[in-house]
Homo-oligomer: A and B are copies of this chain.
Amino acid sequence: MLIAWVMQSSPFVARAACLLAALLLPTAAVADALVDNVNGIALDQDGKVVRFTGLLISPEGKVVKLLAENDKRPAKLDWRSDQHGKVLLPGFIDAHGHVMELGFRALELDLSGTKTLDEAKTAIAAYATANPERKWIVGGGWNQEVWGLGRFPTAADLDAVVGDRPVWLARADGHASWGNSAALKAAGVTAKSVSPAGGRIEKSGAEPSGVFVDAAQALVEKVVPQPLPKERDYAFQKAQEILLGYGITATADMGSSLDDWLAYRRAGDAGALRVRIMSYAFGVDTAVRVGGTGPTPWLYADKLRMGGVKLYADGALGSRGAWLKKPYRDAPGQSGAGFMSDDVIRNLMSRAALDHFQVAVHAIGDRANAEVLDAIDDMVGTYKGDRRWRIEHAQIVDPADLPRFGKNGIIASMQPTHQTSDRTMAEARLGPDRLAGAYAWASMLKNGATLAFGSDYPVEKPDPFAGWAAAFTRQGADGEPYGGWRPEERVSREQAWWAFTGAAAYAGFAEEKFGRLGVGQRADFVIVDRDPLLASPSDLRATKVEQTWVGGEKVWVRK
């Protein structure tokens, strides 16, 4: 208005106004940009659905305004993108993933599609033949449950296919790995080797059988050749490509190593950071080496921050590493085990919290969840303020412990597709009587916890539409079981959406930066081929992302 007035005055005043306007400008560009003619759908802070037809974006890539049909469009625009009525949604946020593992999984031998051990053997043999220059065959994605094998695979199974060099393959959940005899030999693992604390060498009689659970994986991993930095860069670009293709514009990286972090910085420095990364360091030492006395600032226009620390209270259910209050139903002598003593986990949580790093603790079994809840209870008196303690997975919780999630501002960071993938296995591990607090999303909300959703990619695909559909149906892609598994723990379609957007941002202290297309937030959004609020569950799962935009820039287009 000032400028309009001045323009009718003298050249001198006009010039002064010109200078004034320039001084007020945040960047070189002067006008906003408009993504127009959209069927825009978002949730506001109260979880209410907002519809709009235009999205006005500042030169910095922030949301200026959501425009309704009748709102006047600015005459002067830096650029305008006409979407011809397509559906526009806020970018999705995965509250729990493993960025570099996603990229490496895509570049290495991938067994996640195999339905039987024989299929896997065929794939391994083919990969070995196709990659004669690789000194180790490395990969992952296997799952003996999917194969219906009724046992872990063995080194002998692998030796039958590759004998000339080591093979080392991670289980789909990353909590176990499978090696051939050459790998065991390279690592010096023999019948005399002892399982380390927090891990288990699977045995066949006295001999190691070839599978290493949780901390025991390190016995072999220490001799596996580490990827070069340029391979990390390539894997990271691959991971970003995959995430953007699923409409993920921001993600928590749950356990960034120092080398992962250096790869993210290289991408940031080169202007090649396309997905926003909320990094949780793999352990306190890495967090402190990177952040010094606390979280890093938001870097690269809110594209990267190391804000917290990932810790592990136990392992996973599939490999019976999850720590249970009572023994596994299908392995009566075993209850899993805590990764750390009470003292150690409190000590690590304290060390992180002291420097204001956010603490995210992996807890799958009911015993592990109870222990972490106890530890948080012990922490809150000392570490006050807005801490957002996170429990990752919170899969099997004693119903008696569920209300405790509502205390202390705890964030339950859960993965809907784990429920649909794991339900048969979970029933085998625990029996039906101990599943009342399993994957208990609705109970979490009812108890006042913040529910943030993710996929735990690459364990599951980072597909938010699969997670979203699972969350309000408790059914798999096959529609099973009819009526949903323990359907009382469904959440509403809008609650699930929020858990994949605004709440996932909140879980990473990012709600002021992105997550819901609020005014002033980064303009992160996707153009998709259908309205997710009107689609049937199976239609929702079939949603295709056509464009992905981060910070007002189109960073991915379906080809």
Partner of A229, one of B263, B293, B299: B293
CA distance A319 to B259 in the complex (A): 37
> Is A535 at the interface (CB under 8 A from chain B)?
no
**Set of chain B residues within 8 Å of A296, measured between Cβ atoms:** 266, 269
Return the CB mask of A229-251 against B: 1 if under 8 Å, else 0: 11011000000000000000000
**Set of chain B residues within 8 Å of A233, measured between Cβ atoms:** 292-293
What are 28 of the A-B contact pairs (CB < 8 Å)? A3-B18, A7-B11, A7-B12, A7-B15, A8-B11, A14-B14, A14-B18, A17-B18, A18-B18, A18-B22, A19-B31, A19-B76, A21-B22, A22-B22, A22-B25, A22-B28, A22-B30, A23-B28, A25-B28, A230-B292, A233-B292, A258-B258, A262-B289, A262-B292, A266-B292, A266-B296, A269-B297, A270-B297
**Set of chain B residues within 8 Å of A520, measured between Cβ atoms:** none
- CB contacts under 8 Å to B, within A194-253, are 228-230, 232-233
> Is A290 at the interface (CB under 8 A from chain B)?
yes
- CB contacts under 8 Å to B, within A13-43, are 14-15, 17-19, 21-26, 28-31
Determine how close the nearest CB of chain B comes to the CB of A286; give it in whole angstroms. Answer: 10
Contact A259 B289 (CB under 8 A): yes
- In the complex formed, the residue of B with least CB distance to A76 is B19
Contact B30 A230 (CB under 8 A): no
Q: How large is the interface on A (under 10, 10 to 19, 20 to 34, 35 or more residues)?
A: 35 or more
**Set of chain B residues within 8 Å of A23, measured between Cβ atoms:** 28-30
**Copies of this chain, how many?**
2
A interface SS class: helix
> Is A448 at the interface (CB under 8 A from chain B)?
no
CA distance A22 to B28 in the complex (A): 6
Partner of A30, one of B19, B26, B263: B19
Known: A14-B15, A22-B30. 15 other contacts (CB 8 A): A3-B15, A14-B18, A18-B18, A19-B31, A21-B22, A23-B29, A26-B28, A229-B288, A230-B292, A232-B292, A262-B292, A263-B292, A266-B296, A269-B296, A270-B297
**Set of chain B residues within 8 Å of A299, measured between Cβ atoms:** 269
Return the CB mask of A49-81 against B: 1 if under 8 Å, else 0: 000000000000000000000000000100000
> Is A291 at the interface (CB under 8 A from chain B)?
yes
Return the CB mask of A121-153 against B: 1 if under 8 Å, else 0: 000000000000000000000000000000000
> Is A165 at the interface (CB under 8 A from chain B)?
no
Return the CB mask of A268-288 against B: 1 if under 8 Å, else 0: 011000000000000000001
CA distance A289 to B23 in the complex (A): 41
> Is A265 at the interface (CB under 8 A from chain B)?
yes
B-contacting residues of A (Cβ < 8 Å)?
3, 7-8, 11-12, 14-15, 17-19, 21-26, 28-31, 76, 228-230, 232-233, 258-259, 262-263, 265-266, 269-270, 288-293, 296-297, 299
**Set of chain B residues within 8 Å of A265, measured between Cβ atoms:** 265
- In the complex formed, the residue of B with least CB distance to A230 is B293
CA distance A212 to B275 in the complex (A): 50
Of the listed residues A23, A228, A299, the one surrounded by the most CB atoms of chain B closer than 10 A to its CB is A23
Determine how close the nearest CB of chain B comes to the CB of A303; give it in whole angstroms. Answer: 13
- In the complex formed, the residue of B with least CB distance to A24 is B28
CA distance A229 to B258 in the complex (A): 14
CA distance A229 to B15 in the complex (A): 51
**Set of chain B residues within 8 Å of A17, measured between Cβ atoms:** 18
CA distance A30 to B288 in the complex (A): 40
Partner of A14, one of B7, B19, B230, B262: B7
**Set of chain B residues within 8 Å of A297, measured between Cβ atoms:** 269-270
**Set of chain B residues within 8 Å of A15, measured between Cβ atoms:** 3, 7, 14
CA distance A313 to B229 in the complex (A): 26
Determine how close the nearest CB of chain B comes to the CB of A297; give it in whole angstroms. Answer: 5
**Set of chain B residues within 8 Å of A232, measured between Cβ atoms:** 292
**Set of chain B residues within 8 Å of A229, measured between Cβ atoms:** 288-289, 291-293
CA distance A14 to B296 in the complex (A): 44
